[in-house]
Amino acid sequence: MDNVWILGLLGFLLSFILLCRSLKDKISRSRYRCPLPLGTFGWPLIGETFEFISCAYSDRPESFMDKRRLMYGKVFKSHIFGNPTIISTDAEISKFVLQSDAKAFVPSYPRSLTELMGKSSILLINGSLQRRVHGLIGAFFKSPHLKAQITQDMQKYVQASMATWKDNQLIYIQDETKNIAFQVLVKALISLDPGEEIEFLKKSFQEFIAGLISLPVKIPGSQLYRSLQAKKRMVKLVHEIIQDRRKRSNPSVPKDVIDVLLSDPSEQLTDELISDNMIDLMIPGEDSVPLLMTLAIKYLSDSPIALHQLMEENMKLKRLKAKLGEPLCWNDYMTLPFTQNVITETLRMGNIIIGVMRKAMKDVEIKGYLIPKGWCVFTYFRSVHLDEQHYDWPYQFNPWRWQDRDVGSCNFTPFGGGQRLCPGLDLARLEASIFLHHFVTQFRWVAEDDSVINFPTIRLKKRMPVWVKRR
């Protein structure tokens, strides 16, 4: 009898909570011209977080979204990661959110990530300070000087890595690309060449990045605690480099991002802010850029026709430059049309960045929906990129779809958008182009079976093993 009574009480409480939420929704709808999107909050406290994570670990992480899109439409409400959330799989609404300023939306991420990034991270700061840091870094990343330097460095590191490969050797593409891309990015950020300090940074960085999506517990022994300690070690190294630079006169042409930020005349960019952001800006070198290269090799391995056309295009360029006696420059790589189509299609299918999260700073009405103040908005890029309304046969790797298609469409946002558009998007394409050129012109390969893990970050389960043989 006691058990029946307890179950009855729990049932009553659950019904009461759901009733209160339903009444709250009705009140919200009555106050505004636009209603809240349809949807459900799931269980008390935990919401729908467990189902979201369960789907995220599967080979179809967008299944959480697909199920609800069928019931509620492309925009719906949910409750994930402890917050009431509006989830958008609508390209136009996502574009609106991305292009809004801090008066409407500010970044909102899981607590473990915000703890590790810190309040001064370019991912979290807002207003004039964010625009200043983003503008300085973005302008430098687009400069011909840096593009020439990165082209030279990338070619050097790629050739050095591939020179050690032997015929019929098993190579793990994910490991090789991480090693190469990290060295290139650290050189661009703080001008460190391969050596003991790079190895120290790499080891510490791997510990740091492991805690980005973890339990928000900072006690000794926890992953978050270990990651915070790793960041402190890296920040100390970068801080010493900054202090050494301040003793010298500012160079007429900045050689790295530290020089760019130190040359800013305002007093907003403190040594602490610069040090913290140097670590945060290393994430693409360990995560997104290597995965772009790795996924491209996976998709090409499964598409012999695409691989053949890519190889022919790059061999033609290689023969032409050899005949002219000229080295390859960044413009050579970036103007290879099919190579760029392969990279674009890899970005669409791979969804290395699945989406972004923002917090509404005021009530926002958009396209017939209400986004209440204080709620999170999750713009889910993956569902847009794999939507058959935008792309025919969306799960099929088809670089040819981009021959006459605009990559600037709101249906394609692999680098985000608005004021927080990734400043290194051109460099990511450049590095991938260089790696693909040297790999396909120097080697044939046979790939072993591998699968993509989608959560908490994108990676290959077996690190993309391939058997290589020189051409």
pLDDT of residue 31: 55
In a domain, 95, yes or no: no
pLDDT of residue 409: 85
Per-residue pLDDT, averaged over 117-123, amounts to: 87
In a domain, 121, yes or no: no
Per-residue pLDDT, averaged over 133-157, amounts to: 94
In a domain, 5, yes or no: yes
State the CB neighbour count (10 A cutoff) for residue 403: 9
Distances (CA, A) of 342 to 295, 321, 357: 10, 22, 28
Cβ-Cβ contacts under 8 Å for 467 (sequence gap 6 or more)? 168, 169, 170, 171, 445, 446, 447, 448
pLDDT of residue 151: 96
Distances (CA, A) of 260 to 89, 146, 181, 251, 280: 37, 12, 21, 10, 16
pLDDT tens per residue across span 60-114:
999 999 999 999 999 999 999 889 999 999 999 999 999 999 999 999 988 888 8
50, pLDDT greater than 50: yes
pLDDT of residue 21: 53
Q: Does one domain contain both 10 and 136?
A: no
- Total structural domains in the chain? 2
16, pLDDT greater than 50: no
Lowest mean pLDDT segment, chosen from 167-171, 179-183, 233-237, 402-406? 402-406
Percent of the chain whose predicted confidence (pLDDT) is above 90: 75
Per-residue pLDDT, averaged over 2-18, amounts to: 43
Per-residue pLDDT, averaged over 435-459, amounts to: 94
pLDDT tens per residue across span 307-343:
999 999 999 999 999 999 999 999 999 999 999 999 9
In a domain, 209, yes or no: yes
Distances (CA, A) of 9 to 45, 158, 279, 350, 411: 18, 65, 51, 47, 48
Q: Does one domain contain both 162 and 310?
A: yes
CB 386 within 8 A of CB 62: yes
12, pLDDT greater than 50: no
In a domain, 339, yes or no: yes
Per-residue pLDDT, averaged over 176-187, amounts to: 95
Q: Does one domain contain both 137 and 21?
A: no
In a domain, 275, yes or no: yes
Q: Strands 376-380, 355-360: parallel, antiparallel or unpaired by DSSP?
A: antiparallel
18, pLDDT greater than 60: no
Ranges 101-115, 181-195, 242-256, most confident? 181-195
- Signed CA dihedral, 426, 459, 420, 207: sign only: negative
CA 146-150-154 angle, to 5 degrees, is 180
DSSP type of residue 36 = P
In a domain, 73, yes or no: no
Per-residue pLDDT, averaged over 255-273, amounts to: 91
In a domain, 135, yes or no: yes
pTM: 0.91
d(CA 26, CA 21): 9
Structural domain span for residue 455: 127-470
pLDDT of residue 4: 36
- The CATH number for 217's domain is 1.10.630.10
Tokens 């779809």 — which residue? 401
Q: Does one domain contain both 280 and 141?
A: yes
Q: Does one domain contain both 23 and 133?
A: no
3, pLDDT greater than 50: no
For the record, the structure tokens of 156 come out as 């050097």
8, pLDDT greater than 50: no
Q: Which residues on neighbouring strands pair with residue 360, listed in sequence order?
A: 105
169, pLDDT greater than 70: yes
Q: Rg for the chain (alpha carbons), in Å?
A: 24
pLDDT tens per residue across span 392-412:
999 999 999 999 888 888 899
pLDDT, mean over the chain: 90
Hey, what amino acid is at 216? P
d(CA 25, CA 44): 16
Q: Does one domain contain both 329 and 452?
A: yes
118, pLDDT greater than 70: yes
